[in-house]
Structure 1
Amino acid sequence: MKRLITILTALTVWSASLPASTPDADALLAKARAYLGGDAALDAINSIHYFGSIEMTETPAGATNPGKSSIEIIFQKPCQHRLVVSSEKSVDITGLDNYFGWRRVEPVATGGARVQNVGLGKEQIKRLRANTWENLYFWRGIEQHGGAIMDKGETELDGVKCRKLVMSYGPGIEFVRYFEIATGRLLLTETLPVGVIREEGEIMVAGVRFPRKLIATAAAGADGKTRVITITFDRIALNETFPASTFEQPLISGAR
């Protein structure tokens, strides 16, 4: 695939220009993995399947309340991803099949609306790949996936001593994470274009700790509104096996 060489080259050049991780950062990430469940449990994960709901609120409030939508997220090694958001109006599907990404929007109601079914651009695919790696490999071997870690040292967040680590996958694709030094617990993630992501609660699955909620707050945009997206997980399944067709772009005539 012609996109393969372009993406690999861009990631390799960028990661080679970044400083290597420090011993302090490596020690903290080892503690963070232990907090989640430990190397054996994390490395045994080949796929993650999330079920839940997603809701967006605006401040000041918008004229209409979009309400809650259902959400389903699949990550599968080595680098496959599928996201489905279903509302009263549409089913919005995003897929990543290794080096090919796509999006499909299917209207629920008839009335002239047409199915949208398009391939994603190079930058969108790079971002999807980075997000997929972050979710499947739990900060281990990031350099092997085209990324690098920058240690920004100790800091304090809400009165808690933290270490600030930047997981970088290229210009504009960075996950700035704040880990509690004492426990290794992830307290906060900053990422563009979302903004700030916090985790709340937990779900234990096969000895691995997952968040119950993800709360993403975007800085005020040109319209002056601050938006908060809350994803609540009802159930998480590990190590299901998904066929290749799960992540392939559907034909325009119908979903697979």
Structure 2
Amino acid sequence: MNRFAVFLSIVSLVFIGPVSAQEAEVKQPQVSPEEAAAIVKETVAKARQYLGGEKALNAVKSIHYKGVLVYGNGQSGTIESIFMKPNYHQAISVIGNQKETSTLNRTEAWQKVERVDQPGSWTLNIYQLQELRAMQATVADTLSFLNTPPVRNGRIEYLGTETIDGRELVVLYYAHGRSRGFHRYIDRETGEVVHMINQNGAIMTTSGEQWVDGVRFPEKLVAKFITQFGVQTIEITYTSIDINESFDTDRFNVPVLTE
């Protein structure tokens, strides 16, 4: 799995919390469509309140993360990630001598790979449609703060309930079109999102919390994902989180090789 695929597994970070390794079967809902819709509405409202409430969440136009990342194999480095409405994203990682910049500029996406010890030497990859759509879904999901995905055919489905460590969780599926989405397990009483599985099958947990302008964010995230080498992990500790910074959209443009 390349580093870009890993980042797609971890960039939607705001909404997740601790989860036990012991998981039960999801109990399929025995409710009418009207009852399911009511459960979705109530659960989403409670979860958004847990994150900070309507006023604080609706005011967020951009999120800027910085942190330290550690892979399960011991490799470590830094990560910087920007999400900005309407559909911009950039993730910059530095591990050893390699720097990777993966960027979404609304309807196009690209990756720049360069060596830190060789300034001016770099390669450029343009992401294909499937990777572009995955990035768009992740950005929309992150900045919508648990609301219905703001995309064509976006919806929230009630899948039932699950009990983890004695907590009854409502299982919701956030559909971004026909084939992309995120599963969230939300505490029925508190509204905390206890567990998330993203569109790539990555399982994510967080610990700690920090408040930024009335919005709740985690201090640390651990993601588990499957590669050709088996189950891998990555841990990110956030050193800073800022919201509503202004970014020049030129930084999201495809780099041009100059002589």
TM bin (shorter chain): 0.7 to 0.9
SS at match of 1:32: helix
Q: Which runs of 4+ in 1 moved over 6 A?
A: none
SS at match of 1:118: strand
Closer, same or farther in 2 for the Cα pair 1:155/1:31, shift >3 Å? same
* Matching residue of 2:57: 42
Give 1:252 shift.
2.9
The answer on whether the counterparts of 1:37 and 1:209 sit within 8 Å (CA) in structure 2 is yes
Higher mean alpha-carbon deviation, 141-150 vs 26-35, is at 141-150
Equivalent position to 2:250, from 223, 245, 252: 245
* Matching residue of 1:72: 80
Equivalent position to 1:25, from 35, 40, 50: 40
- When the two chains are superposed, the root-mean-square deviation of aligned CA atoms in Å is 2.2
Deviations 1:16-57 (A, max 9, x none): xxx897110111011000001000000001111111111110
SS at match of 1:127: helix
* Matching residue of 2:127: 120
TM-score (norm 1): 0.82
TM-score (norm 2): 0.81
Q: How many residues get paired?
A: 226
Give 1:102 shift.
0.7
Give 1:116 shift.
1.5
* Matching residue of 1:213: 220
* Matching residue of 1:197: 204
* Matching residue of 2:68: 53
Mapping 1:136-155, distance limit 5 Å = 136-144=143-151, 146-155=153-162
> Bigger relative contact order, structure 1 or 2, given CA contacts below 8 A and separation 6+?
2
Letter in 1 for 2:220: K
Distance 2:122 2:164 in 1: 45
Give 1:96 shift.
0.6
Give 1:107 shift.
1.2
Distance 1:146 1:210 in 2: 28
Distance 1:140 1:190 in 2: 17
Distance 1:235 1:110 in 2: 28
Closer, same or farther in 2 for the Cα pair 1:222/1:244, shift >3 Å? closer
Give 1:213 shift.
1.2
Closer, same or farther in 2 for the Cα pair 1:226/1:144, shift >3 Å? closer
The answer on whether the counterparts of 2:140 and 2:150 sit within 8 Å (CA) in structure 1 is no
Equivalent position to 1:178, from 185, 198, 203: 185
Distance 2:148 2:200 in 1: 25
Stretches of structure 2 that go unaligned for 5 or more consecutive residues are 1-32
Give 1:206 shift.
0.5
SS at match of 1:73: strand
Give 1:193 shift.
2.6
Letter in 1 for 2:45: A
The answer on whether the counterparts of 1:73 and 1:81 sit within 8 Å (CA) in structure 2 is yes
SS at match of 2:72: strand
Distance 2:254 2:228 in 1: 34
* Matching residue of 1:4: none
The answer on whether the counterparts of 1:104 and 1:116 sit within 8 Å (CA) in structure 2 is yes
Letter in 2 for 1:190: I
Distance 2:245 2:199 in 1: 31
Letter in 2 for 1:235: S
The answer on whether the counterparts of 2:56 and 2:215 sit within 8 Å (CA) in structure 1 is yes
Letter in 1 for 2:173: V
Give 1:172 shift.
4.4
SS at match of 2:96: coil
Distance 2:103 2:235 in 1: 21
